[in-house]
Amino acid sequence: MAEMQAKATTELPEYRNRYIILCIALSAVFMGVLDTNVVNIALPQITRNFGVDMAQSQWVVTSYLLVNTSLLLIFGRLSEYTGKVRLFFAGIVIFTVSSLACGLSVGIYQLIFFRIIQGLGASIVYSINTAMLVQAFPRNERGRALGFIGTIVAIGSIAGPILGGLITDSLGWQYIFFINVPVGAVLVAAALKYLRLSETPTKIKGMDWSGAAALILTMSSLMLLLGSLADCNGITLEMWVYAAIFLASIAAFVYAEGQHPNPIIDLSAFKVKAFTFANMSTMISFTAFSMFIISMPFFLEISLGYTASQVGQMLLAIPLITAVVSPMSGWLYDKFQSTYHSSLGMLIMAGGMFLISVAASTLSPIFLLACFAIFGFGNALFTSPNNTEVMSALPLNKSGTASSMLATIRNFGNSVGISLASVILYLQLRQHGFSGQVISASPGLMQQAVQAVLIIGGVLCLCGVCTSLIVGRQKSRQNKRQQASKSINGF
């Protein structure tokens, strides 16, 4: 009987093309991750090409990130009105066309404008790709499907700097955008033919435009505030302005959501403990990971004397481990439905960060590499099950909101991690009487500063173990209720 039900489930219309839908969603994510990484590599050439200073050219990166993050929750909510397929298709088209326009730009402000449009397209794709996979796959296959997102992000992180350097040096910075055009065209054609989901969009009863405006202002001001903190120029008037705008806009947003009958974010979703604490775990994980990624190159270059290419080779251990372990972790979670799978992953991440701080004292590359692998293994073990918990915590008709919230939390976790690592490095160096540029610090001093970052990151991961345990406990209670219900019905 169970086999017949499983067979019927996989033959439902929305599941027939699930692996093609998986390829479409993963290709779109890969294109976005690759684009972010290659633009960072090409930024010096863009700066020279347009004859501008870094203060202007950095907006090529910043504008994209601001728009991308600010609109995620709005598009997640909008997808529940328009349907995910229609909105995803629009996102791919916008991203592809704006990529072509970026490559054809003849001025820095024109390029920044088209990067804003490109960020809008990327925001649409990121906000709902996880929700599409949740709907395209049956429950017993979702962990593995979501695990592939971790793999593709890892591969994009590996390929981005390499491809960015090769394309920029051999063809010019324009081609880092042109490369998206044929890929986007193939995705558009594939989406037209295969992207089919059974959807019943909610009828629009009035979009919460005041809440949307307050949310955009909240996200933008917070991102700019975190960016200013990462610069470590002390407390400036600019920071106070960003902080004031953030506090005022978040208060306005919460008020607007409480008053509107169709809010952008249904705040009652946060009453679901599994949803709230799984998102908190995501935030902690990405914060700790960014702290590691930002601080470790300084240690490897200054304390160990590595070149930039050697640093890249050392850090490859993380995405390589993630690419292999993440889908396996999802498969194991689907098969055994372990209650504390994510908690174990976060605990291994914490242990990895503490071990790396110890390995930094030994200055042993082999020991460091082994510790990097442990940290990457823990991260891969944690991510897929935790993502599945976030997406499973809310009803399927709220999957757009859950998906966009997850993407927003990831971006903020990265931003907080960058700012926190920068501030800790700055304060540690100042505490030891060093007042020059960070890059000029002595090997021993840099070692101590980076160790402080790693220890604080490890403590954060231990906090993440606690939030993951709460999610696991909620899952255990839910499973017991379901088993009790089945027993009563069977009786």
How many CB atoms within 10 Å of residue 200? 7
CB atoms within 10 A of CB 88: 28
Residue 1 domain-assigned (yes or no): no
Between 142 and 454, whose confidence is greater? Answer: 454
Mean pLDDT of 401-429: 83
Domain final position from 170, 196, 222? 196
Separation between Cα atoms, residue 201 and residue 399, nearest integer Å: 12
Q: Does the pLDDT value for residue 419 go beyond 90?
A: no
**Shared-domain flag, residues 232 and 291:** no
And the tokens for 352? 């990895």
pLDDT at 485: 57
Q: Is residue 202 assigned to a domain? A: no
Domain that holds residue 49: 13-196
Whether residue 201 lies inside any domain: the answer is: no
Band of pLDDT at residue 253, cut at 50, 70 and 90:
confident
Count of structural domains within the chain: 3
Same domain for 108 and 170? yes
Please give the pLDDT value at position 1.
Answer: 38
**Top-confidence residue, 15 or 116:** 116
Q: Examine the domain organization and report whether 288 and 139 are in the same domain.
A: no
256, part of any domain? yes
Q: What is the pLDDT of residues 210-250, one digit of tens each?
A: 888 888 888 888 878 877 776 666 678 888 998 999 899 98
Query: How many other CB atoms are found less than 10 A from the CB of residue 273?
Result: 15
Q: Is the pLDDT at 153 greater than 80, yes or no?
A: no
- Predicted TM-score (pTM) of the model is 0.80
Q: How many CA atoms lie within 13 A of 127 on its CB side?
A: 32
3-state helix, strand, coil in the chain (%, to 5): 85, 0, 15
What is the helix (H) or strand (E) element at residue 208, kind and residue range? none
pLDDT at 257: 80
Report how far residue 368's alpha carbon sits from residue 160's, in angstroms, rounded to the nearest whole number: 24
Write out pLDDT tens, residues 379-399.
888 988 888 888 888 887 777
Same domain, 182 and 224: no
Tell whether 248 and 185 lie within a shared domain: no
Tens of pLDDT, residue by residue over 271-319, are 888 889 999 999 999 899 888 988 888 888 888 888 766 777 788 888 8
Q: Which helix (H) or strand (E) holds 76?
A: helix 59-82
DSSP three-state, residue 308: helix
Domain assignment present for 402: yes
**pLDDT range class, residue 8, cuts 50, 70, 90:** very low
Tokens standing for residue 431: 């505490």
Q: Is the pLDDT of residue 13 over 60?
A: no
Average pLDDT, integer, range 71-76? 85
How far apart CA 253 and CA 263 sit, in angstroms, is 10
Please tell me the predicted confidence (pLDDT) of residue 126: 86
Please give the pLDDT value at position 167. 84
pLDDT at position 3 is 44
Return the pLDDT at 269: 80
Same domain, 40 and 179: yes
- Cα separation, 434 vs 420, in Å, equals 19
Question: Mean of the per-residue pLDDT values for the chain?
Answer: 82
Residue 57's Cβ-count burial label (10 Å; 0-12, 13-18, 19+) is buried
Cα 368 from Cα 371, distance rounded (Å): 5
Predicted confidence (pLDDT) at residue 113 exceeds the cutoff of 50 = yes
> Is residue 334 domain-shared with residue 277, that is, in the same domain?
yes
Clarify whether residues 340 and 423 are in a common domain: yes
Does residue 5 carry a pLDDT above 50?
no
Predicted confidence band at 358 (pLDDT cuts at 50, 70, 90)? very high
Based on the fold, state whether residues 217 and 188 are members of the same structural domain.
Answer: no
* Domain termination site, one of 263, 280, 298: 263
270 pLDDT exceeds 60? yes
Angle between helices 59-82 and 84-103 (to 10 degrees): 160
In angstroms, the CA 74 to CA 216 distance is 9
Among 269-273, 319-323, 447-451, the range of highest mean pLDDT: 447-451
Q: Does some domain include residue 445?
A: yes
Q: Which two tokens stand for residue 254?
A: 């919460």
The angle that helices 59-82 and 108-136 make with each other, rounded to 10 degrees, is: 40
Residues 259 and 269 in one domain: no
Q: Residue 469: inside a domain, yes or no?
A: yes
| Res. 110 pLDDT band, cuts 50 70 90 | very high
Q: Which is more confidently placed, 456 or 220? A: 456
Judge if 254 and 378 occupy the same domain: no
Whether residue 226 sits in one domain with residue 327: no
Question: Is 324 contained in some domain?
Answer: yes
Residue 224 and residue 239: Cα distance in Å, rounded?
8
Q: What percent of the chain has pLDDT over 70?
A: 89
Looking at the chain, the whole-number percentage of residues with pLDDT higher than 90 is 21
Q: What is the CATH number of the domain that holds 143?
A: 1.20.1250.20
